[in-house]
Amino acid sequence: MKKISFLTLLALLSFAMLKAQETPVGADPAIIKLIHFEAGFNIPKGSLREDVAIRQNLNYNYNYYNPTSDGSVSAYTSGVLFGIRLEYFIPAYHSGISAGLRFTGFNTEIYGITYGSMDYFYLRYSEEGSDTRFARVKSLMEDHYVLSIPVELRIVPLRYNNLSLSFKAGVEAGILNLKNERSIEFSEESMNARTAEVMAGLPPPAGNSYATFYTAICFNAGWEGKPNYSLEILLPSAFLTKNYFSLIETDYFAGVKLSMQLPLKTSK
């Protein structure tokens, strides 16, 4: 969180240090409308939630001659995003503000490290009296598809010919959950009949509230007034809603985006 605050402060300071260009007497600064098309990857980093009752597996290095193991079951989350934004860019201030619509799809998968022919882990789904029940699970997955509205502030402190460097800070709020689903693949087909019972042993499904705060460094290519292309590196950013994922605890997310900006109209 300190890193995020520092980067935001840096971005805002850059903005504060910019001076408006001198404009002819009586003339208003121009505003350029840009439409952004973006696509990218969003990778949340986190760890398996403690209340997901999974027994650790043998380490994949295990064998009779190297009989040490501290266990290994992994969770991996990835996301893809597509979006469109409308930006009002003020060249005199080298900055712009935008809002739009974005689709993000997250997939979380839990799987056990394989050993020999073993490609499953043990999920505890019932503890009744003295009886404890495990299921051999090949993978446990959670999918989230969300439509959100991002609002971004962009500052372009450096420009050289058709190349520029910019910083960005944004917030995003989910407006529609298109999918919030968990699925399980058992090692034994006979356990499919008990899917509902096993899933009931998991933590409650994730909430539907989705909001993030993020910052990015952008490398842009293109002349003013022409289509521009950007590569954005999403810096470690935060989910503002804590229980969006039911299988993992997220620490932060990072990612990369490609975008194309088309100028619409210059107004004075």
Partner 1 sequence: MKALKNLISVFVVVLIATSCDKTEDVNLSQTIFIEDPYAPGLPVYSEWGYNTFGAYIDRIPFVSNSQDLPLKVIVNSDTLKLIFQGTMGYETVEMDFLFKGYSPASYAELIDLDNTLFNLKDESCTVILRTGDSAKLLNLIEGDFQIQRAQRLFVDESLNRTILSGTFRFKTFLDGEPVAITNGRFDAGVGYENFYNF
Give residues in contact with partner 1 (CB under 8 A).
55-58, 62, 67-71, 115-118, 122, 127, 130-136, 186-188, 190-191, 194
Rounded to the nearest angstrom, the gap between the alpha carbon of residue 157 and the centroid of all alpha carbons in its chain is 26
CB of 125 to partner 1, least distance (A): 10
| Six token digits for residue 157 | 């402190």
CB of 205 to partner 1, least distance (A): 24
137 vs 218, which CB is nearer to partner 1? 137
Cβ count near 152 (within 10 Å): 20
Rounded to the nearest angstrom, the gap between the alpha carbon of residue 238 and the centroid of all alpha carbons in its chain is 9
156 vs 198, which CB is nearer to partner 1? 198
124 vs 159, which CB is nearer to partner 1? 124
CB of 124 to partner 1, least distance (A): 8
CB of 222 to partner 1, least distance (A): 53
63 vs 266, which CB is nearer to partner 1? 63
CB of 100 to partner 1, least distance (A): 47
Q: Which residue has the tokens 């990835």?
A: 78
94: left (phi over 0), alpha (psi -120 to 50) or beta: left
Length of the chain measured in residues: 268
SS3 category, 168: strand
Strands 121-128 and 31-48: unpaired
SS3 category, 229: strand
| Six token digits for residue 179 | 């999918």
116: left (phi over 0), alpha (psi -120 to 50) or beta: left
197 vs 251, which CB is nearer to partner 1? 197
CB of 202 to partner 1, least distance (A): 17
64 vs 160, which CB is nearer to partner 1? 64
The DSSP letter of residue 71 is -
